[in-house]
Chains A and B, each alone.
Chain A
Amino acid sequence: MAFILRMALRELRASWHRLIFFFICVAVGVGGIVALRSLVQNVRTALTAEARSLTAGDVYVRTDQPWSDDTRAQIDARVSALEGVALTETLDTVTMARMAANAGTRTKVVEVRGVQEAFPFYGRFGLESGTPYSPTLLEQQGALVGGELLSQLGVQVGDAVAIGNLEFTIRDVIVSEPGRQLGGFSFGPRVLVAYDALERTGILGYASRAERQILLKVPEDAVESLVRGLRRDLSEAFVRVGSYRRTENRIERNLGRAENYLSLIGFVVVILGGIGVWSVTRVFVQQRLRSVAVLKCLGATTARVMAVYVAQVALLGLGGAVLGVGVARVALAAVPDSLAEQAAAATGFAVVSTALTGSAVVQGLTIGVLVSILFALVPLLDIRHAKPLLLLRQGEAPPPAAFDWVRLAVIAAVGGGLLAVASWQAASIEVGAYVVGGFVCVAATLHFMGSALVQTVRPFETARWFPLRHAALNLRRPGNQTRVVLLAVGLGSFFIVGMRSVQENLVTAFSLEMRDDMPDMFMMDIQQDQADGVTAILERTALGADGTAPVPALLPVLRARVIGVTGPETDIQGRRAAWRAGFGREYTVTYRGHLEDNERVTAGNFWDGRPSVEPELSIVDSLVDRGIQLGDTVTVDVLGRQVAARVTSVRTVDWDDSRAGGFVFVFRPGTFDGAPHTFISFLQGPAGRDARGALQREIVTQYPNVTVIDGVEVIRNIRRVLDYVTLVISVVGGIAMFAGGLILVGSVAMTKFQRLYEAAVFKTLGAKTGALATMYVLEYGVLGLLAGLVGSTGAMVLTWVLTREVLEIAWTPVPLTNMLGVVLTAVVVLVVGVGSSVDVLRRKPLLTLRAE
Chain B
Amino acid sequence: MIELRGVSKTVRSGDEPLTIVHPLDLVVPAGQLLSIVGPSGSGKSTLLGLIAGLDTPSTGEIVIDGTEITTLDEDRLAELRGAKIGFVFQFFHLMPSLTALENVLVPLEIVGASDPMARARQLLDEVGLRERAHHYPAQLSGGEQQRVAIARALANAPPILLADEPTGNLDSANGRHIIDLLVGVNRSRGTTVVLVTHDVELASRTDVTLAMRDGRTERRAPIVAPAAVPAELTGS
Task: State the CA gap A795–B218 with chains docked (Å).
Answer: 72
Segment at the B interface, from A227-235, A287-295, A504-512, A678-686: A287-295
Contacts of A675 in B (CB 8 A): none
In the complex, the chain B residue whose C-beta lies closest to that of A298 is B107
Contacts of A13 in B (CB 8 A): 97
In the complex, whether A412 has a CB less than 8 A from a CB of chain B is no
Assuming the contacts A7-B106, A391-B89, asked whether A298 and B81 have C-beta atoms less than 8 A apart, the reply is yes
Contact in complex: B102, A10 (CB < 8 Å): yes
User: Which among A10, A299, A391 is the interface contact of B98 at CB below 8 angstroms?
Assistant: A10
Contact in complex: B48, A392 (CB < 8 Å): yes
In the complex, the chain A residue whose C-beta lies closest to that of B136 is A14
Contact bitstring B39-55, A, C-beta under 8 A = 1, else 0 = 00000011011001011
In the complex, whether B74 has a CB less than 8 A from a CB of chain A is yes
Contacts of B111 in A (CB 8 A): 299
Contact bitstring B71-95, A, C-beta under 8 A = 1, else 0 = 0001100111111000101010111
In the complex, the chain A residue whose C-beta lies closest to that of B82 is A299
In the complex, whether A11 has a CB less than 8 A from a CB of chain B is yes
Contact in complex: A392, B78 (CB < 8 Å): no
In the complex, whether A388 has a CB less than 8 A from a CB of chain B is yes
User: Which among A300, A304, A392 is the interface contact of B45 at CB below 8 angstroms?
Assistant: A392
Assuming the contacts A299-B82, A300-B82, asked whether A391 and B109 have C-beta atoms less than 8 A apart, the reply is no
User: Which among A3, A11, A302, A392 is the interface contact of B54 at CB below 8 angstroms?
Assistant: A392
State the Cβ distance, A261 to closest chain B Cβ, in Å. Answer: 42
In the complex, the chain A residue whose C-beta lies closest to that of B111 is A299
Contact in complex: A302, B75 (CB < 8 Å): yes
State the Cβ distance, A662 to closest chain B Cβ, in Å. Answer: 70
Assuming the contacts A10-B98, A290-B93, A303-B75, asked whether A388 and B110 have C-beta atoms less than 8 A apart, the reply is no
Chain A contact residue count (CB 8 A cutoff): 30
Assuming the contacts A2-B109, A304-B110, asked whether A297 and B81 have C-beta atoms less than 8 A apart, the reply is yes
User: Which among A2, A7, A296 is the interface contact of B78 at CB below 8 angstroms?
Assistant: A296
In the complex, whether B205 has a CB less than 8 A from a CB of chain A is no
Contacts of B107 in A (CB 8 A): 298-299
Task: State the CA gap A125–B109 with chains docked (Å).
Answer: 70
Q: How many Cβ-Cβ contacts under 8 Å join chain A to chain B?
A: 87
Assuming the contacts A302-B74, A392-B45, A392-B49, asked whether A297 and B54 have C-beta atoms less than 8 A apart, the reply is yes
In the complex, whether B207 has a CB less than 8 A from a CB of chain A is no
Assuming the contacts A3-B112, A302-B74, A392-B45, asked whether A10 and B54 have C-beta atoms less than 8 A apart, the reply is no
Task: State the CA gap A293–B77 with chains docked (Å).
Answer: 13
Contact in complex: A389, B49 (CB < 8 Å): yes
Contact in complex: A295, B89 (CB < 8 Å): no
State the Cβ distance, B182 to closest chain A Cβ, in Å. Answer: 18
Contacts of A393 in B (CB 8 A): 45
Task: State the CA gap A298–B55 with chains docked (Å).
Answer: 15
Contacts of A299 in B (CB 8 A): 78-83, 107, 110-111, 156
In the complex, whether A622 has a CB less than 8 A from a CB of chain B is no
User: Which among A3, A15, A300, A392 is the interface contact of B97 at CB below 8 angstroms?
Assistant: A15
Contact in complex: B97, A10 (CB < 8 Å): yes
Contacts of A297 in B (CB 8 A): 52, 54, 81, 87, 93
Contacts of B156 in A (CB 8 A): 299
Task: State the CA gap A704–B133 with chains docked (Å).
Answer: 94
Task: State the CA gap A325–B96 with chains docked (Å).
Answer: 33
Chain B, interface residues (CB within 8 Å), range:
20 to 34
In the complex, the chain A residue whose C-beta lies closest to that of B97 is A14
In the complex, whether B216 has a CB less than 8 A from a CB of chain A is no
Contacts of B94 in A (CB 8 A): 294
Task: State the CA gap A2–B80 with chains docked (Å).
Answer: 21
Contacts of B110 in A (CB 8 A): 3, 295, 298-300, 304
In the complex, whether A6 has a CB less than 8 A from a CB of chain B is yes
Judged by DSSP, the binding face of B is helix
In the complex, whether B152 has a CB less than 8 A from a CB of chain A is yes
Within 8 A of A (CB), among B110-130: 110-112
Contacts of B144 in A (CB 8 A): none
In the complex, whether A387 has a CB less than 8 A from a CB of chain B is yes
Task: State the CA gap A10–B97 with chains docked (Å).
Answer: 7
Task: State the CA gap A304–B110 with chains docked (Å).
Answer: 9
Contact in complex: A295, B106 (CB < 8 Å): yes
Task: State the CA gap A426–B111 with chains docked (Å).
Answer: 45
Contacts of B87 in A (CB 8 A): 297-298, 391
Contacts of A293 in B (CB 8 A): 93
In the complex, the chain A residue whose C-beta lies closest to that of B74 is A302
State the Cβ distance, B120 to closest chain A Cβ, in Å. Answer: 13
Task: State the CA gap A297–B78 with chains docked (Å).
Answer: 6
Contact bitstring A353-387, B, C-beta under 8 A = 1, else 0 = 00000000000000000000000000000000001
State the Cβ distance, A749 to closest chain B Cβ, in Å. Answer: 17
Contacts of A392 in B (CB 8 A): 45-46, 48-49, 54-55, 89, 164
In the complex, whether A769 has a CB less than 8 A from a CB of chain B is no
Contact in complex: B55, A389 (CB < 8 Å): yes
Assuming the contacts A299-B78, A389-B54, A392-B48, asked whether A14 and B106 have C-beta atoms less than 8 A apart, the reply is no
Assuming the contacts A387-B54, A392-B45, A392-B49, asked whether A301 and B93 have C-beta atoms less than 8 A apart, the reply is no
Contact in complex: B93, A391 (CB < 8 Å): yes
Task: State the CA gap A394–B164 with chains docked (Å).
Answer: 13
State the Cβ distance, A482 to closest chain B Cβ, in Å. Answer: 28
Contacts of B109 in A (CB 8 A): 2-3, 6-7
Contacts of B52 in A (CB 8 A): 297, 388
Contact bitstring A1-43, B, C-beta under 8 A = 1, else 0 = 0110011001101110000000000000000000000000000
Contacts of A302 in B (CB 8 A): 74-75, 78
Contact bitstring A240-253, B, C-beta under 8 A = 1, else 0 = 00000000000000
State the Cβ distance, B146 to closest chain A Cβ, in Å. Answer: 14
In the complex, the chain B residue whose C-beta lies closest to that of A294 is B93
Task: State the CA gap A297–B74 with chains docked (Å).
Answer: 10
Task: State the CA gap A148–B89 with chains docked (Å).
Answer: 83
Task: State the CA gap A735–B45 with chains docked (Å).
Answer: 54
In the complex, the chain B residue whose C-beta lies closest to that of A295 is B106
In the complex, the chain A residue whose C-beta lies closest to that of B48 is A392
Task: State the CA gap A388–B111 with chains docked (Å).
Answer: 18
Contacts of A295 in B (CB 8 A): 95, 106, 110
Assuming the contacts A3-B110, A299-B107, A300-B110, asked whether A291 and B79 have C-beta atoms less than 8 A apart, the reply is no
Assuming the contacts A2-B109, A302-B74, A387-B54, asked whether A294 and B83 have C-beta atoms less than 8 A apart, the reply is no
Task: State the CA gap A378–B37 with chains docked (Å).
Answer: 43
In the complex, the chain B residue whose C-beta lies closest to that of A12 is B97
User: Which among A6, A291, A388 is the interface contact of B95 at CB below 8 angstroms?
Assistant: A291
State the Cβ distance, B107 to closest chain A Cβ, in Å. Answer: 4
Q: Which of A7, A291, A297 has the most CB of B within 10 A?
A: A297
State the Cβ distance, A299 to closest chain B Cβ, in Å. Answer: 2
Contact in complex: B97, A11 (CB < 8 Å): yes
Contacts of B81 in A (CB 8 A): 297-299, 388
In the complex, the chain B residue whose C-beta lies closest to that of A1 is B112
State the Cβ distance, B141 to closest chain A Cβ, in Å. Answer: 14
Contacts of B89 in A (CB 8 A): 391-392
Q: Which of A14, A299, A304, A387 has the most CB of B within 10 A?
A: A299
- On A, residues with C-beta under 8 Å from B are 2-3, 6-7, 10-11, 13-15, 290-291, 293-304, 387-389, 391-394
Cβ contacts A to B, 29 pairs, < 8 Å: A6-B109, A7-B106, A11-B97, A14-B98, A15-B97, A291-B97, A294-B93, A294-B95, A295-B95, A296-B74, A298-B106, A298-B107, A299-B83, A299-B111, A300-B106, A300-B110, A301-B79, A302-B78, A388-B54, A388-B78, A389-B54, A389-B55, A391-B54, A391-B89, A391-B91, A392-B49, A392-B54, A392-B89, A392-B164
- Known contacts A297-B81, A299-B110; 19 further A-B pairs (Cβ under 8 A): A2-B109, A14-B98, A291-B96, A294-B95, A297-B87, A298-B81, A298-B82, A299-B78, A299-B156, A301-B78, A303-B75, A387-B54, A388-B52, A388-B54, A391-B54, A391-B89, A392-B46, A392-B164, A394-B91
By Cβ-Cβ distance, the 4 closest A-B pairs, closest first, are A299-B82, A14-B97, A301-B75, A3-B109
- On B, residues with C-beta under 8 Å from A are 45-46, 48-49, 52, 54-55, 74-75, 78-83, 87, 89, 91, 93-98, 102, 106-107, 109-112, 152, 156, 164
